[in-house]
Amino acid sequence: MKPVQSPLMKVSTKAQTGIAGFDEITGGGLPHGRTTLLVGGPGSGKTVLALQILVHGAWECKEPGIFVAFEENSKRIVANAESFGWKLAELQRKKLFFMDIQPMPDLVQSGDFDFGGMLAALEAKSKETKARRIVFDALDVILTLLPDEAARRREIYRLHEWLLARELTGLITLKADEGYINAMSQSPFGFMHFIVDCTVLLSNSVILGVSQRNMRVQKYRGSSFDEDELPFVIGKNGFEVAAVHTPSRVDAEVTSERISSGVERLDTMLGGGYYRGASVLITGFSGTAKTTLSGAFADAACQRGERTLFVSFDSDGSEVIRNLASVGIRLDRYVKSGCLRMISARTITGSAETFLVRIKTLAKEHRARCLVIDPVSTWSKAGNALTARSVAERLIDWSKAGGTTLVCTSLLDEMSSQSEGSSSLQISKIADTWIHLNYLLQAGERNRGLSIIKSRGTAHSNQVRELILSDSGVTLTDTYTAGGEVLMGALRWQKERADRVANEVNEVAAKLKRVRLDAEEAELEVRVKSLQTELLAKQVEKELLIHTTESRKGEISQGLTRMEELRGADATKPDRK
């Protein structure tokens, strides 16, 4: 692991702990060469944390360590820590040493005493081993043996002075319950808080039956630190603190590569598919085909040969495979080939933190490039309401940092929220793409509607599409919009058929009308012709008439002249030319 360096902090002043999250909240680790107090109730993880800091120092920082065990026998401590994979047996040869200082139960004391022997023994041991880090686990066990408060103060002072003089990074753990932590300065060892440079509190509470572990750095001299109480888990590799702002978040690589969602039309709607490394949220009520949609994604990923992890909280992995096979998504072959790993997480109980850590571990083990979590809303179940959101956030941060494409589904509670997507986790806000599935209840039918509520950095269709599941797969269809209403399912089909019939009728009617018009036109043409003929006849008749009239006039005038001539009439009649 690389040292986490805050630009303001010199590295030498911090003793790196190697604990994910802890180095971030303390700006690099424990105060180097100083003493830190670690307080927590029974079973809060003090010993594990302390041991892990020594292990990290020994393996990674060239700082051998001594573990002084006051309560638990060192053999038991080593045995208990076996599962973390710290290779303690190997470490114990040269870099990590245990000192058992468990007071015998039958110890008899008469009068005052001190820990001169212990300091002398530590002196010898630390010289011999060149130790730089020392843990005093459960110092309270021997402090309580001292006869009075003054003696306790004296011994704590001596121990502290001894550590400071040798510039050893000390970590003292103390058992204490909640009440103690709240009334720290009044407690028997309260005075320790004033002399140490750093105080870390661990608490372990049970909320609605779910164990929640929290850590808080209460004081840190000469350094800035995250003052909030942060959840932590003791996972497969030891401690992990849920620091939200991990540096990796900033450096997350952004890619514009698109990968298929497994549904062709959805890819089109999204302008090419999901972005690689994006986080996709699919919300919807129970039965809206959320699992199917995420299954389609897993199928597409495996087809591309990308290792995929499918975490199912609802049902068994084999059940999911069977159910998906019924809609033409055949995942069993990829499980066989090892490309796909199905995890049934129904049996995992515990806090949201636990889920996150397990999923991370599993994803790392599988080297998954695509991750499906179905549904992520399980996390917000009883007892996890407070932490689930930050867990979901960190899940997204984490997957982004690793370039893993994440598809989560989230079950909406039909009773609590009809408004789409008011998921209790509110991860819709931080997810990159948010697809909402809904039922449209019309005419005695439920049909599935799909809409893209948001998709960052992507032009996406704003239309609701109907999601159709068949044994050949998942398809999307345009919905039928009529009169401002969206129709789906049988209604859409009916409407479409009705439209087809109406179209045919219209066509026939149009044809008929054309024929009729043709006939009328022809008729009119005939009439026009006959009228034209008639017109011609009239014209001829008219000409003829004119002609006859004129010739008759001529005849008459000629006749008159003739008559006059014949009669010898007077030529001076004024009215005649």
Partner 1 sequence: MGPMQQSRIGSEFAMRPKVIFKFRLYIAGDAPNSAQALANLTALCRAHFADRHEIEIVDVFREPKRALTDGIFMTPTLVKLAPSPVQMIVGTLSQTQIVLHALRLESVAP
Residues found near partner 1 in the complex (CB under 8 A): 99-101, 103-104, 107-121, 123-125, 142, 145
Residue nearer to partner 1 on the CB measure, 125 or 258: 125
What does DSSP say about strands 340-344 and 308-312: parallel, antiparallel, or unpaired?
parallel
| Closer residue to partner 1 in complex, CB, 76/364 | 76
- Give me the least distance between CB of 38 and partner 1, in Å please: 21
Smallest separation, CB 135 to partner 1 (Å): 16
> What is the phi/psi pair of residue 97, to 5°?
-125, 145
Q: Which is nearer to partner 1, 64 or 273 (CB)?
A: 64
Tell me whether residue 138 or residue 269 sits nearer to partner 1 (CB atom).
Answer: 138
141 vs 298, beta carbon nearer partner 1: 141
Cβ nearer to partner 1, comparing 145 with 207? 145
Nearer to partner 1, 170 or 284 (CB): 170
> Given the complex with partner 1, which of 103 and 287 has the nearer CB atom?
103
In the chain, the largest separation of any two C-alpha atoms, in whole Å, equals 196
**Nearest approach, Cβ of residue 111 and partner 1 (Å):** 3
Is the Cβ of residue 113 or residue 493 nearer to partner 1 in the bound state? 113
Taking the complex as a whole, how short is the minimal distance between the CB of residue 58 and partner 1, in angstroms? 20
Rounded Cα gap, residues 302 and 305, in angstroms: 5
Instruction: Give min distance, CB of 210 to partner 1, in A.
Output: 41
Span between the terminal Cα atoms of the chain, in Å: 139
Nearest to 142 by CA among 114, 187, 103, 192: 103
109: tokens are 């004391």
Residue with token string 């709240």: 182
Smallest gap from residue 121 Cβ to partner 1 (A): 4
Pair of tokens at residue 397: 């941060």
Judged by DSSP in three states, 90 sits in: helix
Pairing of strands 405-411, 169-175: unpaired
Report in angstroms how near the CB of residue 140 gets to partner 1 at its nearest: 15
Q: How far is the CB of 172 from partner 1 (least distance, A)?
A: 15
Q: Which is nearer to partner 1, 104 or 415 (CB)?
A: 104
Which residues have C-beta within 8 Å of that of residue 64, sequence separation ≥ 6? 57, 58, 94, 95, 96, 97, 129, 130, 131, 132, 133
* Closest CB 130 distance from partner 1, rounded Å: 15
Q: Minimum Å distance from CB 128 to partner 1? A: 8
Rg (CA), the chain: 46
Minimum CB–partner distance for residue 160 and partner 1 (Å): 17
Q: Is-cis flag, bond preceding 31, omega within 30?
A: no
In the complex with partner 1, the residue whose CB is nearer, 109 or 418, is: 109
Residue 527, classed as helix, strand or coil, is: helix
Give long-range contacts, CB 8 A cutoff, 24+ apart: 190-195. 191/152, 191/153, 191/156, 192/37, 192/156, 193/37, 193/218, 193/219, 195/35, 195/156, 195/157, 195/160
Whole-number Cα distances in Å, 453 to 241, 264, 516, 549 = 33, 18, 54, 95
Sequence-separated (6 or more) residues with CB below 8 Å from residue 127: none
Measured CA to CA, the distance from residue 17 to residue 5 in angstroms comes to: 12
* CB-based contacts of 341, cutoff 8 Å, min separation 6: 307, 308, 309, 310, 335, 362, 366, 368
CB of 145 to partner 1, least distance (A): 8
306/338 Cα distance (integer angstroms): 11
| CA 144/CA 528 separation, integer angstroms | 129
* Cα dihedral 231, 234, 236, 238 in deg (nearest 10): 100
Question: Among residues 116 and 287, whose Cβ is nearest to partner 1?
Answer: 116
Q: How far is the CB of 75 from partner 1 (least distance, A)?
A: 15
Q: Of the two residues 145 and 560, which places its CB atom closer to partner 1 in the complex?
A: 145
Which residue stretches of 221-270 are H helix?
Answer: 264-269
For 54, 71, 135, the CA distances from 98, given in Å and listed in that order, are: 11, 12, 10
